């Protein structure tokens, strides 16, 4: 018999965060989060997303052991402002037991019905900067720190519970040796002259900070047309500054501005931290910090985390300016492989940006939906 227990105490929350450590202890491909940071993500006093969202966390027990978990999330900005009557759920992990996953699905669906929502969708996070999707291909490669990893049996549990595919994502990678600078070198010079644009590069995080609010504003404009987009609020901007920017090498942040110094393009690339996080095994002390700092400085793999171009400048080749800047720094640092975060398979515009680099799709993932 499966028992569902809502997380109410600090002890319960720690158990919620640590359950995947047990589930994936024998996996070479799962990447553990930093336990303390994950707990802060769910702290309603620290994470400003809770100003506009509600979340309840549940653990599934069988034979007095934890066998599953789920976060049931309602983003009220999405529900009220966009009229998307969606019950979100994420951080969804379970053993290969249909009774367990069904009990967790039922819990999420009950909350959705109680709140007058029309459908559930998951796995997703609180917002568009959170992890998304259940993996359906690519189980034999290490997961980046910015995505969820799961076993192959997960998708059959969604199907057994009556869920259907809602969105499909792909993750790609390409060797830096695939990059031919001739594909963007002349173009970026022409584009900068034609539109009076300038690329900004940085060597210190403090130099980046004056532009970060503008970057998030541009992020909201750039991605607003995508399905289920929820804009980042001003309070969340401050939170993400503290949470993310310090982890990024300042030279891996590229901005493009117009003649009035207005931001019209941006990109953030992160060093690949996955192997460092595996060594840290969820803890910053005593050696976790050292592993992460070493990866930040020396990783030969990078992840294109975000890229955005102002709608008025899309299809005008601004990405060539950004790629030229990255080519110079990647060549200097000896970068070997470039990875891309999950991208909607029907987002043709973003796929066109990468076509000259011969990218290889190495993972696919999906979100699933069920009417209530």
Q: Tens of pLDDT along 79-99?
A: 998 899 999 999 999 999 999
Q: What is the mean pLDDT of the chain?
A: 93
How far, in Å, are 62, 224, 365 from residue 231 at the CA level?
39, 7, 23
- d(CA 279, CA 287) in angstroms, rounded, equals 9
pLDDT at 238: 85
Secondary structure E strands in 105-228: 119-122, 134-137, 164-175, 198-200
336-359 mean pLDDT: 88
Res 233 pLDDT > 90 = no
pTM for the full predicted model: 0.93
Q: Which of 221, 209, 189 is nearest to 317 (CA)?
A: 189
Give percent above pLDDT 70 in the chain.
Answer: 99
pLDDT tens readout for residues 273-310: 999 999 999 999 999 999 999 999 999 999 999 899 99
34 Ramachandran zone, left/alpha/beta (phi>0; psi -120 to 50): beta
pLDDT at 227: 63
pLDDT tens readout for residues 109-145: 999 999 999 999 999 999 877 899 999 999 999 988 8
Domains of the chain: 2-170 (3.40.630.30), 175-364 (3.40.630.30)
- d(CA 301, CA 72) in angstroms, rounded, equals 34
pLDDT at 228: 64
pLDDT tens readout for residues 35-71: 999 999 999 999 999 999 999 999 999 999 999 999 9
> Which residues, listed in sequence order, are joined to residue 86 by a DSSP beta bridge?
119
First-residue to last-residue Cα distance in the chain: 25
290 Ramachandran zone, left/alpha/beta (phi>0; psi -120 to 50): alpha
According to DSSP H, which parts of 50-170 are helical? 76, 98-114, 154-160
């Amino acid at each position: 018999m499966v028992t569902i227990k809502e997380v109410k105490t600090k002890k319960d929350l720690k158990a919620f965060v640590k359950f995947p450590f047990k589930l994936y202890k024998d996996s070479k491909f799962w990447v553990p989060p930093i336990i303390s940071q994950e707990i802060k993500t769910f702290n309603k006093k620290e994470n400003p997303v809770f100003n506009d969202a509600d979340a309840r966390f549940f653990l599934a027990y069988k034979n007095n052991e934890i066998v599953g978990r789920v976060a049931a999330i309602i983003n009220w900005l999405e529900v009220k402002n966009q009229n998307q009557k969606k019950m979100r759920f994420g951080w969804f992990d379970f053993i290969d037991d249909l009774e367990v996953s069904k009990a967790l699905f039922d819990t999420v669906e009950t909350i959705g019905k109680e709140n007058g929502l029309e459908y559930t969708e998951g796995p997703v996070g609180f917002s568009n900067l959170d992890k998304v999707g259940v993996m359906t291909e690519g189980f034999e490669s290490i997961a980046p720190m910015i995505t969820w990893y799961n076993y192959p049996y997960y998708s059959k549990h969604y199907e057994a519970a009556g869920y259907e595919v809602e969105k499909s994502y792909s993750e790609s990678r390409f060797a830096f040796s695939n990059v031919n600078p001739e594909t963007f070198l002349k173009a970026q010079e022409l584009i900068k002259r034609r539109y009076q644009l300038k690329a900004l590069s940085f060597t210190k995080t403090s130099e980046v900070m004056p532009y970060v609010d503008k970057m998030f504003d541009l992020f909201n404009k750039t991605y607003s047309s995508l399905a289920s987009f929820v804009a980042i609020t001003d309070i969340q901007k401050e939170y993400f500054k503290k949470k993310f920017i310090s982890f990024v090498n300042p030279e891996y942040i590229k901005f493009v501005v117009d003649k009035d110094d207005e931001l019209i393009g941006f990109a953030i690339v992160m060093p690949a931290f996955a192997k460092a996080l595996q060594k840290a095994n969820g803890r910053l002390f005593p050696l976790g910090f050292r592993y992460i700092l070493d990866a930040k400085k020396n990783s030969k793999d990078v992840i294109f985390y975000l890229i955005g171009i102002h709608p008025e400048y899309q299809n005008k080749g601004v990405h060539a300016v950004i790629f030229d800047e990255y080519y110079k720094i990647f060549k200097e640092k000896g970068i070997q492989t470039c990875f891309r975060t999950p991208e909607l398979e029907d987002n043709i515009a973003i796929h066109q940006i990468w076509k000259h680099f011969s990218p290889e799709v190495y993972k696919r993932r999906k979100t699933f939906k069920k009417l209530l």
